[in-house]
Amino acid sequence: MHILISPNAFKHSLTAEEAASAISEGLMQSRLDCTCECFPIGDGGDGTGELIIKKCKGQLVNADVTDPLGRKINASFGLIDGGRTAIIEMANASGLRLLEPGELDPLHASSFGTGQQIKLALDKGARKIIIGMGGSATVDGATGMLKALGIHFLNAECKELGMLPADLTDLASVDLSTLDERINDTEVVVLCDVDNMLLGKNGAAAVFGPQKGASVENVKKLDSALAKLAEVALQQTGKDMSTIKKGGTAGGAAAGLYAFLNAKLVNGIEYFLHLTDFDKALEKSDLVITGEGSVDEQTLQGKGPFGVAQSAKQKGLPVIGLAGMVPLVRNENLKKYFDVLLAIGNQPFDLPAALACSAANLKRTSAELGDLLAIAK
């Protein structure tokens, strides 16, 4: 039996690579006679870019940029396809993991550093930019990135706004005349792991603002700021940021790049699987194991394990899903794609303890799963 092991990251616990390794180790400890291929996956979330760079044997580029609060840091991005395509992980320059809990401040956090990386990629000759937006610390509608690329955000007196996104409610116009001309000949692709729109109760500020440190009052301010940005963008570009599906990704950064850079917003896992030639790995497999922290109805909205399971089912392969949490009641929609869903917990735990035991629990569950498959054979 040849088993393809393709988990997503287990959020706040394991990277996709670490999860795949734990599953493989568990299977090797079992009585099952099998071979395994680890093919960790990403759906646009934090870590997706790194996986693409490794899978495509890309080159890392390190450079000094600014973090979400404007401090100088060293961050990397990747070049693949002979340097023609850049892979940028937004979290590397503009991520939550760069900030201490007490530093979270989405009213003032900027994506400027990611824009600096885009500019550096253009300097290197890249004419296709793929951006994974998971794990960002910002709700600035990409204004920081766009500012790094030469765009100016002006008030009614044609003076540049001092603080983004906090001052966006005073936005009157956007000066596009100084935008880096090279971007016009560059394809920009945004890998999205959510479908949220830009505004409203399910929008960028309301859903993602609190995760990035926004108070109830700040969520209202951020939503108003993004609404103003969308209003001006529509006037000047003819593109409506507020109606584009997936526009709420990364605090509205996806919508901002769509409006001002003509970016393509794509389903992250579908794009990842195509780019990394996942079908080739499926062709030699007898069984697929995937998973992430939680597998539930939301998984079917385009999350990584769903993309894996959907691809496997198209080739008639059985799929096993492993997760920290699965539905208590049998879910027929999930059963269409996951032949077996297993929760990896071994005893009642609070969340911090459960997260700390994820690797051990994955390894143990996979070993038991291997023994069960050996009996079935």
CATH number for the domain spanning 127: value is 3.90.1510.10
Tell me: do 152 and 93 sit in the same domain: yes
Check residue 349 and give its pLDDT.
79
Q: Does 274 fall in a domain?
A: no
Name the domain count of the chain.
2
Do 201 and 328 fall within a single domain?
no
* Residue at which a domain ends, from 269, 296, 312: 269
SS (H, E, C) the chain: CEEEECCCCECCCECHHHHHHHHHHHHHHCCCCCEEEECCCCCCCCCHHHHHHHHCCCEEEEEEEECCCCCEEEEEEEEEHHHCEEEEEHHHHHEHHHCCHHHCCCCCCCCHHHHHHHHHHHHCCCCEEEEECCCECCCCCCHHHHHHCCCEEECCCCCECCCCCHHHHHCCEEECCCCCHHHHHCEEEEEECCCCCCCCCCCHHHHHCHHHCCCHHHHHHHHHHHHHHHHHHHHHHCCCHHHCCCCCHHHHHHHHHHHHHCCEEEEHHHHHHHHCCHHHHHHCCCEEEEEEEECCHHHHHCCHHHHHHHHHHHCCCCEEEEEEECCCCCCHHHHCCCCEEEECCCCCCCHHHHHHCHHHHHHHHHHHHHHHHHHHC
pLDDT at 312: 97
* Tens digit of each residue's pLDDT, the chain (377 residues): 999 999 999 988 899 999 999 999 999 999 999 999 999 999 998 899 999 999 999 999 999 999 999 999 999 999 999 999 999 999 999 999 999 999 999 999 999 999 999 999 999 999 999 999 999 999 999 999 999 999 999 999 999 999 999 999 999 999 999 999 999 999 999 999 888 999 999 999 999 999 999 999 999 999 999 999 999 999 999 999 999 999 999 999 999 999 999 999 999 999 999 999 999 999 999 999 999 999 988 898 889 999 999 999 999 999 999 999 999 888 999 999 999 999 998 877 788 888 888 999 999 999 999 999 999 87
Residue 145 confidence (pLDDT): 98
Domain boundary among 241, 269, 297: 269
**For residue 37, what pLDDT is reported?**
97
Residue where one domain finishes, among candidates 228, 248, 269 = 269
Same domain? For 262 and 284 the reply is no
Question: Does 211 lie in the same domain as 130?
Answer: yes
